[in-house]
Amino acid sequence: MITIPFEAGRFHSTAEYYERFRVPYPDALIERVAERTGLAPGGRLIDLGCGPGQLAIAFARLAGALPTGIDPEPEMLAAARRAAEAAGVDIRLVQGSSYDLAPHLGPARLVVMGRSFHWMDRADTLLRLNAIVEPGGAVALFDDRSIAATPDWRPVLDNLSQLYSPERSESRTLRRGPDWVPHERVLLASPFPVLERISRICVRRLSADDIVGRAFSMSVTSRQNLGQEAVAFEAALRKDLQALSPDDSFEETVEVRALIATRP
């Protein structure tokens, strides 16, 4: 099974953009996952690959969970700390990755991952989580799927990503290729093979600033990765977006999903 090599600093320089411009997780989805997994107030939760802490904070705020956020990037942990303080919730933050998972981090009722599972050795991660997730607990993978965009700015961003960041684009191409094993198949062969998907579909209105911010939130087109090409990349992206929508009005229909995995 293909595993993308681990890079601790993959998301360096993205935290401020990730917080502001990634598709948010709806409160209703968080509440439904908490209900479905039996996460009661005071229940322990691990947000693996927590980034700026959006899932950990949401579960603390909406479900009364006691979260531990784990991420290899200090910039992300600092952002998560600030966001938790602003939200008035307590989060334990640990610098590390899926390769640092060990039983002493548990037990946890729920382990969540937001757009991060594909960066891990997925089979190994699930075996490690089997020693951390308490009996009756669950793993939940969160992501979002773009259904439609008007006008469709997605090919513009993809093409410029390939042009300005060809090496980083290889991992994205790999995950879209025929040899990539879907998360569902990995889970079915793991200690957590009972699967259920819950989602919410919403329509979001965007500006060019939102799309540029989204681009800089991604590892493939982060400011760190683009380096001196970041200015040229942004100028090219804004030029193409202006041609698509002279009035700077974009719309996307997106499905935000949680794939819940439990033991038999």
Instruction: Look up residue 204 and give its two tokens.
Output: 């979001």
Contact 36, 198 (CB under 8 A): yes
Distance CA 30, CA 54 (A): 11
Distance CA 193, CA 183 (A): 11
Instruction: Provide the whole-model pTM.
Output: 0.95
- What local confidence, expressed as pLDDT, does residue 29 receive? 98
Q: Which domains does the chain have, with CATH numbers?
A: 14-263 (3.40.50.150)
Tally of helices (H runs) and strands (E runs) in the chain? 11, 7
pLDDT tens per residue across span 79-117: 999 999 999 999 999 999 999 999 999 999 999 999 999
pLDDT tens per residue across span 225-256: 999 999 999 999 999 999 999 999 999 999 99
pLDDT tens per residue across span 25-57: 999 999 999 999 999 999 999 999 999 999 999
End-to-end Cα spacing for the chain: 24
Instruction: Look up residue 128 and give its two tokens.
Output: 């490690």
Which pLDDT band, with edges at 50, 70 and 90, does 6 fall under? confident
The angle, 0 to 180 degrees and rounded to 10, between the axes of the packed helices 154-164 and 208-216 is 40
pLDDT tens per residue across span 189-238: 999 999 999 999 999 999 999 999 999 999 999 999 999 999 999 999 99
